[in-house]
Structure 1
Amino acid sequence: MQISQQDVHQALERGEFVPHFQPIIRLRTGQLYGFEMLARWAHPELGLIFPGDFIEQAERDGWISELTYQLLRKGLKEIAPLPGEPTLSVNISPPQLHGTSFVDQVHEAAAEANFPLNRLILEITESALAEDIVSVSKTVQSLKIAGCRLALDDFGTGYSSLLHLQSLPFDELKVDRSFVSSMTQKHDSRQIVAAVVGLGQSLSLTTVAEGVETEEQAEILLWLGCELGQGWLYGKPVPAEQLDEMMKRRQPHASNAILNGMTGRQSATALEIPPMQRFAQLRAIYDGAPVGLAFLDREMRYLSINRRLAAINGSPMEEHLGRTVAEMIPEFFPTVRPLIERALAGEVVAGVELTKPTQNPKELRTILLSYEPAFDESGEVIGVSVVLLDITPIKRAEEAQRESEAHFRHMIELIPQIPWIIDPEGRALDVSQRWLELTGVNDDQWRGFAWLDSLHPDDRQPTIDAMHRSFQSGEPIDIYYRVRRSKDHPWQLLRSRGSARRDDNGEIMCWYGSLEIIGESDAGKK
Structure 2
Amino acid sequence: MATKRSEIKTELKKALKSGEIVPYFQPMVGIRTGLLVGFEVLARWLHPQRGTIHPDVFIPVAEQADLIGELTETILLQAFAATTALKRDLNISVNVSPIQLRDSSLSEEIARAAAMASFPLHRLTIEITESALVDNLELAATIAGKLKQLGVKLALDDFGTGYSSLRNLQALPFDELKVDRTFVSSMIQSRDSRKIVAAVIGLGQSLKLTTVAEGIENETQADILRWLGCDVGQGWIYGPPVAARDLSKIIDAPMSTSTHTLHDSPASDLITCIEPLPSQRLAQLQAIYDGAPVGLAFVDADLRYVSVNQRLASLNGISVEDHLGRRLSDVMPPTIYKKVEPYLQRALKGEAITGLELTRPVMPESPEPVTLLVSHQPARDEGGEVIGVSVAIVDISERMRVIEALRASEEHYRHMVEFNPHMPWIMEPNGNVIEVSPHWEEFTGQTSEQTLGMGWKNAVHPEDLNRLLPTLLASLQSGDPFDLEYRIRTKDNHWRWMRTRGNPRRNESGEILLWYGSTEDIEETMHLKQKLHETEAKLEALLKDKAFGMTSRETS
Q: TM-score, normalised by structure 2?
A: 0.48
2:41 is aligned with 1:37: yes
- Compare 103-112 and 248-257 and name the one that shifted more: 248-257
Alpha-carbon offset, residue 275 of structure 1: 12
What residue in structure 2 maps to residue 189 of structure 1?
A: 193
Deviation per CA, 1:187-241: give whole Å up to 9, x if none: 1101100110010000000000000111111111111111100000001000001
Equivalent-residue separation in structure 2 for 1:276 and 1:119 (angstroms): 22
The change in CA–CA distance for 1:161 and 1:237 in structure 2 (over 3 A counts) is same
What residue in structure 2 maps to residue 458 of structure 1?
A: none
Aligned AA (2:20): E
2:175 is aligned with 1:171: yes
> Identity of counterpart residues, as a percentage?
48
2:96 is aligned with 1:96: no
2:204 is aligned with 1:200: yes
What residue in structure 2 maps to residue 365 of structure 1?
A: none
What residue in structure 2 maps to residue 125 of structure 1?
A: 129
Deviation per CA, 1:275-318: give whole Å up to 9, x if none: 9999x99x999xxxxxxxxxxxxxxxxxxxxxxxxxxxxxxxxx
Residues 128-277 of structure 1: pairs in structure 2 closer than 5 A = 128-251=132-255, 253-257=257-261, 270=297, 272-273=299-300
Alpha-carbon offset, residue 261 of structure 1: 7.4
Equivalent-residue separation in structure 2 for 1:264 and 1:217 (angstroms): 24
What residue in structure 2 maps to residue 57 of structure 1?
A: 61
The change in CA–CA distance for 1:78 and 1:184 in structure 2 (over 3 A counts) is same
What residue in structure 2 maps to residue 8 of structure 1?
A: 12
Equivalent-residue separation in structure 1 for 2:40 and 2:217 (angstroms): 16
What residue in structure 2 maps to residue 113 of structure 1?
A: 117
Aligned AA (1:143): L
Equivalent-residue separation in structure 2 for 1:81 and 1:271 (angstroms): 36
1:28, 1:264 within 8 Å by CA — same for their partners in 2? no
Aligned AA (1:214): N
1:27, 1:255 within 8 Å by CA — same for their partners in 2? no
Alpha-carbon offset, residue 101 of structure 1: 2.4
Higher helix share: 2
The change in CA–CA distance for 1:268 and 1:80 in structure 2 (over 3 A counts) is farther
Alpha-carbon offset, residue 156 of structure 1: 0.3
Aligned AA (1:25): V
Alpha-carbon offset, residue 271 of structure 1: 6.0
2:31 is aligned with 1:27: yes
Aligned AA (1:163): R
Aligned AA (2:207): L
Equivalent-residue separation in structure 2 for 1:90 and 1:265 (angstroms): 41
Alpha-carbon offset, residue 260 of structure 1: 5.7
| 3-state SS in 2 of match to 1:121 | strand
2:36, 2:251 within 8 Å by CA — same for their partners in 1? no
1:152, 1:173 within 8 Å by CA — same for their partners in 2? yes
1:201, 1:275 within 8 Å by CA — same for their partners in 2? no
1:26, 1:229 within 8 Å by CA — same for their partners in 2? yes
The change in CA–CA distance for 1:23 and 1:93 in structure 2 (over 3 A counts) is same
Q: Which runs of 5+ in 2 are unaligned?
A: 263-285, 307-346, 353-476, 478-512, 515-556
Aligned AA (1:22): Q
| 3-state SS in 1 of match to 2:64 | helix
Alpha-carbon offset, residue 255 of structure 1: 3.8
Equivalent-residue separation in structure 1 for 2:292 and 2:41 (angstroms): 30
Alpha-carbon offset, residue 99 of structure 1: 2.5
Aligned AA (1:86): L
The change in CA–CA distance for 1:264 and 1:85 in structure 2 (over 3 A counts) is farther
1:197, 1:224 within 8 Å by CA — same for their partners in 2? yes
2:237, 2:256 within 8 Å by CA — same for their partners in 1? no
Equivalent-residue separation in structure 2 for 1:266 and 1:185 (angstroms): 38
Alpha-carbon offset, residue 254 of structure 1: 4.5
Computed over aligned residues only, the root mean square deviation of the Cα atoms, in angstroms, reads 3.5
The change in CA–CA distance for 1:263 and 1:15 in structure 2 (over 3 A counts) is farther
Equivalent-residue separation in structure 2 for 1:124 and 1:66 (angstroms): 18
Q: TM-score, normalised by structure 1?
A: 0.51
Alpha-carbon offset, residue 253 of structure 1: 3.1
Q: Which has the larger radius of gyration?
A: 2
Equivalent-residue separation in structure 2 for 1:62 and 1:21 (angstroms): 25
The change in CA–CA distance for 1:267 and 1:201 in structure 2 (over 3 A counts) is farther
Equivalent-residue separation in structure 1 for 2:85 and 2:122 (angstroms): 15
Deviation per CA, 1:72-126: give whole Å up to 9, x if none: 1101111113243110000010010113222121011100111111000000000
Alpha-carbon offset, residue 274 of structure 1: 5.5
Alpha-carbon offset, residue 250 of structure 1: 3.1
Aligned AA (2:162): G
Residues 321-332 of structure 1: pairs in structure 2 closer than 5 A = none
| 3-state SS in 1 of match to 2:85 | coil
Alpha-carbon offset, residue 56 of structure 1: 1.4
The change in CA–CA distance for 1:193 and 1:125 in structure 2 (over 3 A counts) is same
Residues 451-462 of structure 1: pairs in structure 2 closer than 5 A = none
Equivalent-residue separation in structure 2 for 1:106 and 1:230 (angstroms): 24
2:223, 2:258 within 8 Å by CA — same for their partners in 1? no
Alpha-carbon offset, residue 52 of structure 1: 1.3
What residue in structure 1 maps to residue 533 of structure 2?
A: none
Q: Which runs of 5+ in 1 are unaligned?
A: 286-472, 474-504, 507-526
| 3-state SS in 1 of match to 2:134 | helix
Equivalent-residue separation in structure 2 for 1:91 and 1:136 (angstroms): 14
